[in-house]
A = this chain, B = another copy of it.
Amino acid sequence: MASVTIRDVAKKANVGIGTVSRVINKSTAVSQETRQKVLAAIQALGYTPHPLARRLSLGRTLTVGVVLPFLTLPSYVERLRGVQQMLEDSEYDLSLHSRENPAKLNQLIDELSLNKSVDGAIVFSLIPSELQIQQFAQARIPLILVDACHPDVNRVYIDDEKGGYLATSHLIELGHRKIAFLSDYLENPFKFTAMRKRYDGYRRALEQAGLPFRPDYHQEGTLGARDSFEKAKILLSLPERPSAVFAASDTHAVGVIKAAHELGLKVPENLSVVGYDDIRDAEYLDITTIHQPLFESGKESVNILLASLIEPPEAPSDVKLPIELIIRGTTARPT
């Protein structure tokens, strides 16, 4: 009923509460004898330190906040998994913060930097405002950006421009000349930048190969297979139909493949498709794609965070994770 506190333990063990605290935090030396007494009392009473009291006293929340736009994207979930797993053996809790609305999301980040509710924050795909970055710094709350970059902030990311270039080049090397690009909206309310960079890589590869950029070969659609499907159908119904599509995410790629089937096109015989991200489904659906270490990016962000918590670093971490073209079954020479 009445929660058992450290005082109860102290009384039962005939020691002061300080000693009990010492035993719990296995910090300073306590004689073997009294330690046993205390341990026995704790056992007998089924005592558990009250986390809030402990944290308030410590001046640490022992909580890591993860901020992400939405859970509907497999890549975010995979990153979250990485974060979760890395936090598993630490003393930190994971508090999840997500808002599917850009304004609310922004407000969320603000609160996280102002309310002293987390010891550190990991943000996916978003670049906080300069002010927010200052607020985190001022509050001494380590901030890690995943899949986003800012010179003053710890970051774990990949070279998206290069990824776009790799994907497109692969198609060019196979002999494709008519290469379409399907992406999320380059300009978007969340201000994601990855799509823009992949687009830049696409353009660069085309240019380098002396291929013209055709605006009608570029379609934008919301993330998610549904819209991709519709947009892909537009691309594949063009008078001069592309022989290959670079889809800026695997989810988009699924849409393209579906559209191809719908239009009676065989992949990769009649249409080559390259995706991006290498989410779990990509391997399974045998999609040629740009692999990016999603799970690892989550883990790495936690590593940086925990290290920063122990000792504030001089300069922000800059971890560029490797990407790799994974050739699977959705790309082939044009026929």
Q: A114 in the interface, Cβ–Cβ < 8 Å? A: yes
- Expressed in whole angstroms, the Cα–Cα distance for A34 and B74 within the complex equals 51
In the bound complex, residues from chain B placing their C-beta under 8 Å from that of A80 are 71
Residues of B within 8 A of A77 (CB): 71, 77
Number of residues from A at the complex interface, CB < 8 A: 47
Question: Contact flags (1/0) for A91-118 with B, using CB distance below 8 Å?
Answer: 0011111111000100000000011110
With a CB–CB cut-off of 8 A, which chain B residues contact A94? Answer: 95-97
Residues of B within 8 A of A50 (CB): 56, 116
Interface stretch (choices A157-165, A171-179, A234-242, A279-287):
A279-287
- Copies, count: 2
A-B contact list, 30 entries, CB within 8 Å: A3-B116, A46-B114, A48-B114, A48-B115, A48-B116, A50-B56, A50-B116, A51-B61, A51-B116, A51-B117, A52-B61, A52-B116, A52-B117, A53-B56, A56-B56, A63-B95, A70-B81, A71-B77, A71-B80, A71-B81, A71-B84, A72-B81, A88-B99, A88-B104, A94-B96, A95-B95, A225-B280, A225-B281, A225-B284, A226-B283
How far is B85's CA from A48's CA once the two chains are assembled, in angstroms? 32
Is residue A299 contacting chain B, with contact meaning CB distance below 8 A? no
**Contact partner, A280, options B51, B72, B81, B96, Cβ 8 Å:** B72
Complex Cα–Cα for A213 and B213 (A): 59
Residues 34-70 (chain A) with a chain B CB within 8 angstroms: 46, 48, 50-53, 55-56, 61, 63, 70
